[in-house]
Each structure stands twice: as C-alpha cells, then as structure tokens.
Structure 1
Amino acid sequence: MRSAIVVGGTGLVGNALVKLLCDSEEYVSVTVLSRRKLDFEHPKLTVKVRSFDQLEEEDIDFAHEVFCCLGTTMKKAKTREQFEKVDVEYPLHIASLAKKCGIMHFIMISAMGASEKSAFYYNKVKGKVERELIALDLPQLSIIRPSLLVGDRKEFRLGEKMGEWILKGLNPLFIGSLKKYRPIEADQLALAMKVIALFGKKSPVTIYESHQLAMMKMPEVKEEKVIPREQLFNWDKFKEQEAIPIDEEVVFNREKLREIKTKNELNK
C-alpha cells in the first residue's frame, strides 16, 4: 500500500488527481500541500495549508511519491518574478525537501514544448525548471508534458477556453505526428500520473509527452481461474481405484537394519 503527497491540489489537474488517489485501492494515505483549503474531504486525505515561501522539512511526511501540480498564469501572477516563483522556485524547493526526506519519486507537470530556447516565455520558463530539477539529481524524476488541458475549471479563462474550442474542432485533423497537439482531459492526465507512479519507467529521468499520456490506462488485472473443488480432489475416482497392498518387508527391511546396527557397533 502506498502514500502520496500532492502539491497544488486545488487546480484543475491537482483536484482530479487527489480524488483519484483517494478512491484508489493502491493508496492508503494522500497528503495535500496547499495554500488554501480544499472543498473535498475523504478519510484518507490530510490537507496541510501552508505558505510555499515557508515550507520546511517537517512539512513533508514520508511518501512514495510527490506529485507537483503547481502552476499559474501571467494574468494571475501579474509579474514575471511572481510567475517564476510559482512555476520554478516552489517546485525546486519542494523537490529538494522531498529528496532530503528520502522520497524516491518526484512527478511534475511541465508543458508541451518546454525548452529554454523557446521563443515563448511560458515554454522557456518550463524548460528552465526542467533543467534545474534534473540538476538536483533526484532518485527518480518524471516530467509530464501535456498539451492544452481541458476540463471544468473553477475559474473562467477566456484565452484557454477559446483555444479549447478551436483545438477540439480540429481534433480529427491531428493524426500521425500531429497527435501530440490534441487537447488532453484533466481526468486523463491525473490517471496517467497515477499509472506513471505505479508502473512507470524506473529511470532517473523520464519525460512523458502528451500523446503518451493520452494513451495511458491502468493495466487490466487478470482474474485467477477458480478450480472447482471436485476437480481438485475427485473422491469418486479415488474410491474406484484398488488399494495397493503395502509390503512390510519393502517398507521396513529388518535384515538391512540389523546389518547397519552391527557395522555401527564394530566402528565404535
């Protein structure tokens, strides 16, 4: 049985992931580090409301993996400095704490096209955090690169909503090498993150692209075939067989026993 820490459990993916893990048979404990309370309760769930500027080692409990779902927008952050604090500084600090606490797997949501060489500021920042996370030399790092995320957000984002409508309309055209540009549902991304935690590659660093994430699902558990009791022990067939008489001389050879006993006495 496993335990998990989810950082950023109030966002679109984080919220879906928390509910998925709590309903999962594989997890007995789910801890959320959040800047505000969740509107969700569960017997397995512990919510720690913390300022990410003041997170310390004692705030990180033991867990098998940390899922980092932190992310913001320029509209909310207002400045590049604040944007990079949320998307770069906080994930790096949490990953460092996780490593100190002996947590073996750090799973972080980045973005499709993340690269420090990108012409787009957003992708450049994501490329920066990826590079710095890799430099931390974590026991195991999984980088998640989804395309446009779709789902029921608590807040309305006009730009993302328009992009969602356009891309959904163009979805049938995204075939072959263009598949990676298809929007991905938040629930599917949460499922993919769980699959990666349980069955993903054990390499020190693994990057998962959006088209891979869209295809992931939990492996099917094969039901063990129940063998009927009468086939395990066929009493009727046993009764039909004739009992084989036991030859006492074969089972217990008295002459052989005397011979062994005599040799032992002579050797004393």
Structure 2
Amino acid sequence: MKKTAILLGATGLTGGILLQKLIEDNTYQSIKLFSRSKIEGLPAKVTQYIVDLLDLEQFRAVFTADEVYCCIGTTKAKTPNKGVYKQIDYGIPVAAAKLSKENAIETFLVVSALGANSNSAVFYNKTKGEMERDVQKQNIKNTFILRPSLIGGVRQEQRTLEKIGLAIFKVLQPLFIGKLEQYKITEPEAIAQAMINLANSAPYAEVIITSNEIKRISKNT
C-alpha cells in the first residue's frame, strides 16, 4: 500500500535527511511538508504548505496522512527566549499530535532528547519531558519518541565553538562504554532511518526509543 507522510522540520539537519529518504522510498507516494520556508527543487510527490507552525490548527483540513514525522527543535543559542523556545519545542509537537489524533492518523514519531524529564529542574530537559508527556496523552496507536544524545553532522549555522566542542566529543567516544554508551554521538542519518524503520515495521512495543536503540533500529534495513 502506498502511503502519505507528513513531515515537520524538513529545513533542519535531521528533517532534511529524513525528507530525502522519504523521497527515495517508493513506499511513499505523497509527502506533505509543513514549514515556514519553501524548499526548492523537490519532486512532484512533495506538497509544501508554507505555514506558521505555531498555528497548525488552521490547517486541520489538509493535515491528513498515514504517518507524521516531527523533527521540530531549536537550541538555546538560536532561541534564548524561554517562552519562544517552549512554543517551538513543546507547542508545535503537541499541536501536531493533537491534530494527528483528531484526523485518525495512527503513527506519530517525534525527535526528543536524551535527558528529557517533565520533573527536571533544568528548563530544557523539563520542556522536552513535558512535550513527551503530552504527546503520549493523545493515545495515538503507534507513538514513537526518539531520544538521541548529542546529534552529529554539519549544520549550516554551526558556530566555531560548537564545531570545536563536537570535535572534542568525538575524540572521547571510545571512553563511552557500558552505561555511558548512550551518550555517544547520534548521527542524524541514524535518527532518520530509525524513524522510517519504526513506521514500517511490525508493531514495536517501546514508545521511548533511546539513543542506543536508535542506532540498532537504523541498521534494520
């Protein structure tokens, strides 16, 4: 059966890789992008909706698909205002989950983060945890929350200090063994492939997909 996928966050690192994988996957006959800016040069199977992602409810009528992939996320550096940060990292995924439930979409996948905890004293971990909690409250049949560790890859807006920090982190990777293995860098390609594999596999029992599981599931091709 040919499927339709909705993708939020296609202009980001992980979302962009996921978009390319969905385009190349013949399982998908249609891909709907909801974003603030247009992406040029996409094939006919991709329909773009240029929207204010903070007001997704206005697009309820076209928010229909077999699956929703949510790769929305910002950073403290890009969004220092905590109120705006929460509108993005909490508000958009939860709104998308609510629309998915209303429109009987049975598969919802969202990228969260290692350390997400709704009871955390750390604002950023707490925000991710609250997002996870309220996404799960929608009781969508196939809900998958991916918790990668530090995401690798090259970002267009990556600053010099960020590049240095990532390089140092890569050097330390061999030291992350046992329980520390979950803190190893998670590559965006692995996240994207794991999401597709989860959406197209037999029923998977786990809702929370840890960084180690992301890497394992991504190899099941």
TM-score, normalised to structure 1, is 0.76
Structure 1 residues without counterparts, runs of 5 or longer: 221-268
Is the CA contact 1:99–1:139 (under 8 Å) kept in the aligned structure 2?
no
Give the corresponding residue for 1:138: 140
Give the corresponding residue for 1:149: 151
Give the corresponding residue for 1:117: 119
**How far has the Cα of 1:128 moved from its partner?**
0.9
Q: Distance in 2 between matches of 1:77 and 1:181?
A: 24
Structure 2 residues without counterparts, runs of 5 or longer: none
Is the CA contact 1:174–1:182 (under 8 Å) kept in the aligned structure 2?
yes
Question: What is the one-letter code of the residue matched to 1:32?
Answer: L
Identity of aligned residues (%): 34
Secondary structure of 2:109's aligned partner: strand
Alignment partner of 1:30 is 2:31: yes
TM-score, normalised to structure 2, is 0.91
Give the corresponding residue for 1:163: 165
Give the corresponding residue for 2:62: 59
Q: Distance in 2 between matches of 1:41 and 1:79?
A: 33
Q: Distance in 1 between matches of 2:185 and 2:121?
A: 21
Secondary structure of 2:47's aligned partner: strand
Give the corresponding residue for 1:84: 86
Q: Distance in 2 between matches of 1:37 and 1:211?
A: 34
Give the corresponding residue for 1:128: 130
Q: Distance in 1 between matches of 2:162 and 2:146?
A: 19
Give the corresponding residue for 2:216: 215
Taking a change above 3 Å as real, the CA distance of residues 64 and 195 of structure 1, as seen in their structure-2 partners, is: same
Map 1:67-82; keep pairs closer than 5 Å. Answer: 67-82=69-84
Taking a change above 3 Å as real, the CA distance of residues 120 and 40 of structure 1, as seen in their structure-2 partners, is: farther
Give the corresponding residue for 1:9: 10
Is the CA contact 1:60–1:101 (under 8 Å) kept in the aligned structure 2?
yes
**How far has the Cα of 1:93 moved from its partner?**
1.0
**How far has the Cα of 1:182 moved from its partner?**
0.5
Secondary structure of 2:145's aligned partner: strand
Question: What is the one-letter code of the residue matched to 2:27?
Answer: E
Taking a change above 3 Å as real, the CA distance of residues 163 and 190 of structure 1, as seen in their structure-2 partners, is: same
Is the CA contact 1:70–1:86 (under 8 Å) kept in the aligned structure 2?
yes
Is the CA contact 1:149–1:186 (under 8 Å) kept in the aligned structure 2?
yes
Q: How many residues align?
A: 218
